Amino acid sequence: MQGMEELAHAKVNLFLHVLRPREDGFHEIETSIAPVTLCDWLEIEPANKFEFHCDEPNLAGEDNLVVRATRLFFSETNREPKVRLTLRKEIPHGAGLGGGSSDAAAALRGLNRFFDAGLSRERLSTLGAQLGSDISFFLNETAAICRGRGEIVTPAALPEPLSLLLLKPEFGVPSSWAYSRWQATREVAGEIYRPQKFGDIAFVNDLERPVFEKFVFLAQLKTWLLKQTEVSVALMSGSGSTIFAVLRSNVAGDLVAERAKSELDPRLWTCVCQTI
């Protein structure tokens, strides 16, 4: 049996509306999500037992979503877990880019193909929803509108790719914390939170209020981006801490990234990419 490689693409939220708390502890949301060219790499190879390796040792434990997705897959298919998975990370942790969920989706998708298990996309989505709200989106591999707690996915391809610059400081933002603070800050006003119209999309993120209130640097980062002539839109992705910019046509995103490091923080993580 030959080995294979599965890509786990990152995502950005083009808009994120938090509607209300749910009785199950999650929040009812409506969000437009687009996959981007930035990705992790998952290598799948035959082995005599289950092995998982990651180039970031602190992510190589049993609680990694790839491990949990793999165990769920083998339980569902009644197969012996004889496979070696090697994860190479490019998507930063705690960034609002969906790295962990995308890795889990890549594991489910890849194992299904590797073992020719024949599980339907719907069944894979049901399995993924047991692990995380975004996994159903990543299994579809296309832009979509997601509702419920994120697991109800309606494909909605973008008219054309968007050129993006992603900027992330050294710190992350826990999603559970951001959502827990939404109710307390949802009425906070401010020009920085207004929807930004670009094409047919009104870019807005309801989690910016609670996150910016605590992590003031992210508000400063968004404000700085909006002042750059190369930038059409700036918004936080998911619960942060990544702020992304939609770049104007024929703009060198790397130059904007270097300017941000020079004027704001030399330790910023940056990535120029585009939506898929």
As annotated, the active-site residues are 11, 134
Please give the full DSSP string across the chain, using - where no structure is assigned: ---EEEEEEEEEEEEEEEEEE-TTSSEEEEEEEEEEEEEEEEEEEE-SSEEEEESSGGG-STTSHHHHHHHHHHHHHT----EEEEEE--SPTTSSS-HHHHHHHHHHHHHHHHTT----HHHHHHHHHTT-TTHHHHHHTS-EEEETTTTEEEE---SSPPEEEEEE-S----HHHHHHTHHHHTT---GGGS-EEETTEEEEETTHHHHHHH-HHHHHHHHHHHTSTTEEEEEE-TTSS-EEEEEPTT--HHHHHHHHHHHT-TT-EEEEEEB-
Residue 42: phi and psi, rounded to 5, are: -115, 115
